Structure formats: structure tokens, C-alpha cells
Structure 1
Amino acid sequence: MPKRGKKYQEARKLVESNKQYDVNEAIELVKKTATAKFDETIEAHIKLGVDSRHADQQVRGAIVLPHGTGKTAKVLVFAKGDKATAAEKAGADYVGAEDMVSKIQNENWFDFDVVVATPDMMGVVGRLGRVLGPKGLMPNPKSGTVTFDVEKAVNEIKAGKVEYRLDKTNIIHVPVGKASFEESKLTENFRTLMEAILKAKPSAAKGQYLRSVTLTSTMGPGIKVSPAKITE
């Protein structure tokens, strides 16, 4: 383990390592332990009692956080004609078709956070599967990023829509705001996310669904949230 700085060590002292905090305590602590010179991102890490290797135990979706993430996502839209115009009007950062595919393939260009595509463009976007897939950027109907309603998709992403999905270790990592947010706003964002994840519980999931929930800031220590208290 790399040696942590003095600020981290000080922040770590405020957190009881074996304690599971209730939501309000955890939010208060995660703000207190975010002591970097920049506005740290607050992230939730949620370990689920499912096996992501099985299709019927996948947990994936998207939710608009009531107070956004504190960061405006850059959106790339694959569309043509009227839909391309609608995407531009809605405020998409980049709009294109085959030209964008070449740019990504030839220039290793990734100056965007979310990719939206109209269904008729998925054949074109499919050529980028190998590069977009591992980065979690491939458009998907479940997260509302494969749609003809590009205007709605762009507006929601700009408003603070986040996607949640399991990684290979059955953990979901999602930003819930910035350290500068008021506690009430972080709490509301966090609860909105947790409600969506609880609703998305697959019927094939057995045993305890919420295994562990941790809140962290970019540079701060992890703070465990009691799964039992999230559902209260």
C-alpha cells in the first residue's frame, strides 16, 4: 500500500473502521473527511449479493439525481438528419455518424462522458464495441442511451443522470455529488440512487441483496453505511 498523506491520516482518525453509520452520519462524515484543495467527488460503492456473470442477475439502469452530480457531462450523439439537429439543439457537445467513428478509431479521441445513439445508428456504433465497451461507454437501451428521443436523453444527462451497473466484482460505483454540496442535497441524491438499485433487484437474486455500502470522497477514507438503515 502506498503511504498516505498527513491529511488522509487525520481524516482516517474521524472514521471508526468497523462501524456502520446511518445515512445522515455517513454523509456528514464524508464531507468532513474531504479535505483536498479541490472540490472532491462523493461516490457510493455498493456491493450486491448477485452474480453478474448470469444474465438474470444483472443490475443496470440510470437515474436522474435530484441535485445533479456537480459536473456537467459531455455528450456525444450518433444520429443523422432531424435527430442530429434535435441533439444539437438540446445541447449535445458532439453530434455525428461515421465521422465520429473514424475520429475515435484513428485519433484515440475520448473527450466525452456519455454516448447516445439512435437505434438506426447502432450498426455504425457497433464497430466501436471493443473500445467503448471496456470504458462503459457503449449506448444501451436499459440506460436510455439508445433512443430516438435524443432531445430527452441529452437533457436528462445534462441534468445529472447517472448510470449504474455492476462491475466484475458485483460492485456498483456511482458519483452522488460534490463535497461542496449541502448535506441535505447529498442525502437526497444518495437515497434516490439507493431506491433505484433496490427496485432493480433481480428476482433471481438470493440471500442478502445489499452486502455493503460505502461512501468515499476522491481522496478520503471509505465510510461504511449500514445496509439495514438505508431501507428505513
Structure 2
Amino acid sequence: MPKHSKRYEEIRKKVDRNKYYKLDEAIKLVKETATAKFDETIELHLVTNIDPKKTEQQVRGTIVLPHGTGKPVRVLVFAKGEKAEEAKRAGADYVGGEELVEKIANENFTDFDVAIATPDMMKVIGKLGKILGPKGLMPSPKSGTVTNDIEATVKEFKAGRIEIRNDKTGCIHLPVGKKSFDDSKLKENIIAAYSQILSMRPSGVKGQFIKKATISSTMGVGIKLDLADLNAAISKAA
């Protein structure tokens, strides 16, 4: 067993690992235990009941966080002509066609958070699948990142739209803000994220879709959420 730092052990003492915390209490606790010297990211972790081996049970798409993640989002757009100009006006960080494809292929350039493409560019960027796919950066119609509505899509990702997908164990991990966020903003982001992911439930999933939810900070420990309280918060916010 690896030995944890003294700081980590102190944090762990504050969190009851057998308790399911109400959301307000969990937010206060996650901020209290985020004691690193930088503004730690607060993350939501969901254990789902999907069968990750079945294609039709994959959870993938985009959700909108009302207050963003607190992290600047670097957006790359594959487009040409007027659509490229549209991307630049919308604030995309990198815009280009074949030359951008070559840069990624030859230099393994992946210094961005989201890649968006116009439909006509998909045949050109197909060869980037092995580079972008494993990093979750390949544009996809399912995630809303293959579109002709470039301006709106770039602005949405810049403002707080994020792509989510389950991992190979069927879990979903996503940022929902920073320690520096007001409690109310973190709460609204968590409720919005959870509610939108619930609506993505694959039709083939039997029983309870989300089995467990926890929040944690970058350097902190997992704090279990009371799902009944979380569902009540969603109903209240609706």
C-alpha cells in the first residue's frame, strides 16, 4: 500500500467514508478539505449501471454548466472559408483545414480541450482517429462537435458546455467548478450536471441508472452524496 502524505491523512480524518452527505454539507466539506496551494478543481464522479461493453449503452454527449468549469477552454476548429472566419469571430483558439490536420498528425499536437469540425472536414480528419480518439478529442456528431453551426458551438464550449462520456468501467467523471466558486454556484453546477446526465439514460439500462455519486477536489478524497437528497434538489430546481 502506498503511503499517503500527512496532508492527505488529515483530510481523510474529516470525511466519514461510510456516510452519504447531503449536497450542501458535501460542498462545504469538499471546499474545507481542498487545502492545496492552488485553486483545486471540484469533480463529480458517477457510478452507473450501464454495461460498458455494449455500444448501445454508452453514455456520451454534452451538457451545459450554468457557471462553467472555472477553467479556460481551448477550442480547436477544423473548417475552411466562411466557417473558418466564423470560428475566429467566435473566439476559437485554433482554426484551420488540412494544414491543422497535418500539424496534429506530424507533431502530435493536442494542446486543446475541445475539437469541433464542419461535416465536410470529417473525411480529411479521419486519419487523426488514433491520435485524438484515445484523448477523447475526436469530433463526433453524437457529442455535438460535428456541426455547421460553428459560431454558437464555439461560444457554448467557451461558456460552460462540456463533453462527457463513460469510461471503460461505466463511470463518468467531470469537473463542476473550482474551490473558489461560491457554494451556490457549485450547487447549481452539480444539480445541472446530474440532471442532464440522468436524461441521457440509455434505453437498455435496467434498474437504477446512477448507483453512486461522489464529489472530490483535485487533491482531496471522495465524499459520497445522498442520492435521495440530490434527486430532491433536482425536483426543487425544476
Shorter-chain TM-score bucket reads over 0.9
Whether the 8 Å CA contact 2:110–2:132 is kept in 1: the answer is no
Once the two structures are aligned, what percentage of the paired residues are identical?
A: 60
Q: Which runs of 4+ in 1 moved over 3 A?
A: none
* Per-residue CA distance 1:127-170 (angstroms, 9 max, x = gap): 10011111011111222111001101110011011111111000
Which residue pairs with 1:167 in the alignment? Answer: 167
TM-score, length-normalised on structure 2?
0.95
2:112 is equivalent to residue 109 of structure 1: no
Which residue pairs with 1:195 in the alignment? Answer: 195
Name the stretch that deviates more: 185-194 or 44-53. Answer: 44-53
CA distance in structure 1 between the partners assigned to 2:196 and 2:52 by the alignment: 18
**Superposition pairs for residues 119-158 of structure 1, below 5 Å?**
119-158=119-158
* Per-residue CA distance 1:97-146 (angstroms, 9 max, x = gap): 11111111111211111000001101111110011111011111222111
Whether the 8 Å CA contact 1:87–1:150 is kept in 2: the answer is yes
Name the stretch that deviates more: 32-41 or 197-206. Answer: 197-206
Whether the 8 Å CA contact 2:43–2:216 is kept in 1: the answer is yes
Name the stretch that deviates more: 149-158 or 105-114. Answer: 105-114
Aligned pairs, number: 232
SS at match of 2:63: strand
* Per-residue CA distance 1:43-93 (angstroms, 9 max, x = gap): 111010011221221211111211110011101100000000000010000
Which residue pairs with 2:62 in the alignment? Answer: 62
CA distance in structure 1 between the partners assigned to 2:28 and 2:220 by the alignment: 13
SS at match of 2:186: helix
CA distance in structure 1 between the partners assigned to 2:125 and 2:25 by the alignment: 44
Whether the 8 Å CA contact 2:26–2:223 is kept in 1: the answer is yes
Whether the 8 Å CA contact 1:212–1:225 is kept in 2: the answer is yes
CA distance in structure 1 between the partners assigned to 2:33 and 2:190 by the alignment: 17
Whether the 8 Å CA contact 2:108–2:131 is kept in 1: the answer is no
TM-score, length-normalised on structure 1?
0.97
Q: CA RMSD in A?
A: 1.0
